[in-house]
A and B are shown apart, each in its own frame.
Chain A
């Protein structure tokens, strides 16, 4: 009798385990399920694809402007070119965080952000290349290509347009280099954009897990990387915040030649906010983003509150930085508002970098973890 009882207890215990598999979820059962596929769909349809389309279009327009400039270099065509560069590079900020999938590393090619968004550029190497007329836009010298190499060519140092024009006039290789740089950017963006218009978008939405290779994990990892690059490279490094720096290095800001660092910073932060809110930059309407995902998990609301209060503080600090002079000059002359912005950025890191992934159970590294 005793053995029968123990056996019975055991089967009861077994049943407990299998129960989970046996019953079907009912429509009205207390399911609290967040639809990650819908989040990915929203991101793909309303944020990522439009952003890549926009930057691709801008880059194509920019290339046309480069062609117009090189056939007829003048104050006017240069001004058009510069204006279009600002438009294109502003749009670039909106894809900075989508540096995965078709924009990720492939073979010898690094990620898109590294291939076309590297800064600071090496102007010395660029001048050497143009002097002899040979360059390679596919090797590891990523500091002589991309948007910011183009920026150097068309804005020059001190934004002296007549100096820029005479530099182009004195060396025919300069114009050719500019054409090739612009074409290189255009091609890379077109390649990524066409992938996103094709089957990749579907597989992105289908890969709806939370494991390390999942779309959510890739999106999250690149979101954090993008945010940290804003804080560390666009602000920290020029401010001289890194260990080993003995002073500020204002020339390390992004878009130093055009003096557009601050607008670019603002666009970058807006792009980060958009991902958080799942906000389409076209319609301006919020959809499923990390915020909505958090709202669906227990304890998520506390993190939403602290993150958004920090976002408000960060935005306020960003707006407190004067529009002019250029950021690089402010770092020298009036660093206090920029320093304050940096501090607000630092306070945000933990919410994005560890609290968010921990609450959502997103795997961020490949290594095995402890078994049960």
Chain B
């Protein structure tokens, strides 16, 4: 056992070329740069953070608040600058730290905008802080040639491969469920909705296509890491990465996600491939990267205590990544219906869900009850997300209590009639419409107030 452990440690510490790490740094910086510019250009800083009167918060993170308009633009401006610096490898440690903090901050402001790929980007930004990604092919190296390295311990690259492996494998694993494989849901809804696309559109109208996509998608997610890891299949596997993500990028409104995955999976390519890439690039940009090859140096041995701390941190992270997605098993009922344990689990595009939520606020003194226009407080996306997710329904109810108490309604009680449709099935009540939601608080335990999804 100890021997095995030692072998593993030795393998993880084996020096390999630093080139893949430099590629990853550039790709991640470029991705965030593009993503943030796009976000700002689309006017989403206003739409997402400035305009709404109310923000849904992450459990335990309700202290994360948006800044006033100017502040939010400064945050995004800094994010653009720091991404650019990360890409170029300029003042990398500071830039990477800023990039991680700022991106995570914007993501934590409002639960409405939770996306698995944003979570993934946030994790990768964090991991980038732990590795010497700037010590080759960077402006920092140009500034301070003495930091230049040609090699890096294998773990610094393996951790990214492992993270991607977890993402893909879990995404594939969760697809193994009756709706996805036997009913081809929700793809049976989504695929025909794309039958207008040129060339491929006609095929989307075929009855068999949703099943083909469901099974292919499941097999793809489950096995792609293996194909990418194996040198003989790598190029072809990467071609399918490009094809698969380009296809879903055309079909679905998923923003920068296809680019994120196409960029991130480059980390599976061999050291040699990355070295050749950088050689080619260096020839183009010889002014910056000087033709001489990097010193054949390896990251100087850090103190043992530091190594242990780093090791513990990574083990903790990987353990969390492996275990956290399984927490849904601790809750009764369907995870699709209750969403208890749904987020942060790499459950992606698994269901078509929508709801209509109508809130009623009652004055406890006069007994008069009024209906709320959700649009008075929420933007369309917030309303859409809230109307199908129990914890968000609860948050909004609490907000309404506070808001209308200030407006002079005495000790308001709030109830909600929420109808949710899952994978195209007839909508049904998510919770008891007579329940006073202000008496309920959110926590980690099972939400007993969620009605069971009727067997259909």
Chain A residues with CB under 8 Å of chain B are: 3, 6-7, 10-11, 13-14, 16-21, 23-25, 29-34, 36-37, 208-212, 232, 236, 240-246, 297-299, 302-303, 306, 346, 349-351, 353-355, 357-372
Contact = CB atoms under 8 A, between A and B. Distances in A.
Interface string B249-266: 000111111101100000
B313 interface: no
Nearest to A207: B196
- Name the residue in A11, A13, A346 with the highest tally of chain B Cβ atoms < 10 Å from its Cβ: A13
Given A30-B208, A297-B189, A363-B253, A243 B384 contact: no
Nearest to A11: B236
Contact of B384 (A21, A36, A244, A364): A364
B381 A355 contact: no
Contacts of B117: 370-371
Given A33-B192, A236-B371, A354-B355, A367 B44 contact: yes
Contact of A17 (B113, B208, B240): B240
Interface string B217-244: 1011101000100001100110010011
A219 to B, nearest CB: 14
- Name the residue in B255, B261, B370, B420 with the highest tally of chain A Cβ atoms < 10 Å from its Cβ: B370
Contact of B419 (A29, A354, A362): A354
Contacts of B371: 236, 241-243, 346
Contacts of B368: 246
Contacts of B193: 210, 360-362
Contacts of A16: 212, 215-216, 219
B205 A25 contact: yes
B267 to A, nearest CB: 18
Interface in B394-431: 400, 404, 407, 409, 419-421, 424-427
A209 B157 CA distance: 42
A351 to B, nearest CB: 8
B205 A36 contact: no
Given A30-B208, A369-B115, A358 B426 contact: no
Contacts of A31: 202, 205-207
B450 interface: no
Nearest to A30: B207
B354 interface: yes
Contacts of B192: 32-34, 297, 361
B369 to A, nearest CB: 8
Q: Which of under 10, 10 to 19, 20 to 34, or 35 or more describes the interface residues of B? A: 35 or more
Contacts, number: 199
A23 B209 CA distance: 12
A83 to B, nearest CB: 35
A246 B410 CA distance: 12
A371 to B, nearest CB: 3
Contacts of B248: 371-372
A245 B361 CA distance: 11
B220 A17 contact: yes
A355 B356 CA distance: 9
B261 A306 contact: no
Nearest to A303: B426
A361 B212 CA distance: 19
- Name the residue in A23, A349, A366 with the highest tally of chain B Cβ atoms < 10 Å from its Cβ: A366
Interface stretch (B61-69, B144-152, B288-296, B345-353): B345-353
A246 B383 CA distance: 26
B207 A365 contact: no
Nearest to A298: B188
A25 B427 contact: no
A355 B209 contact: no
Contacts of A306: 426
B256 A368 contact: yes
Nearest to A342: B371
25 contacts: A6-B233, A20-B209, A32-B207, A34-B192, A210-B194, A212-B253, A236-B371, A246-B366, A303-B426, A306-B426, A354-B356, A354-B387, A358-B354, A360-B193, A361-B352, A364-B384, A366-B42, A366-B253, A367-B113, A367-B381, A369-B253, A369-B254, A370-B115, A371-B257, A372-B248
Contacts of A236: 371
Contacts of B236: 10-11, 14
Given A10-B227, A302-B426, 20 more contacts: A10-B236, A16-B212, A17-B216, A17-B220, A20-B209, A21-B200, A23-B203, A30-B207, A31-B206, A243-B371, A346-B371, A354-B419, A359-B424, A365-B384, A366-B381, A368-B255, A369-B349, A370-B117, A371-B115, A371-B252
Contacts of B208: 30
Contacts of A363: 253
A13 B213 CA distance: 12
Given A242-B373, A244-B409, A370-B115, A354 B254 contact: no
B358 interface: yes
A24 B112 CA distance: 41
Contact of A32 (B197, B205, B217, B253): B205
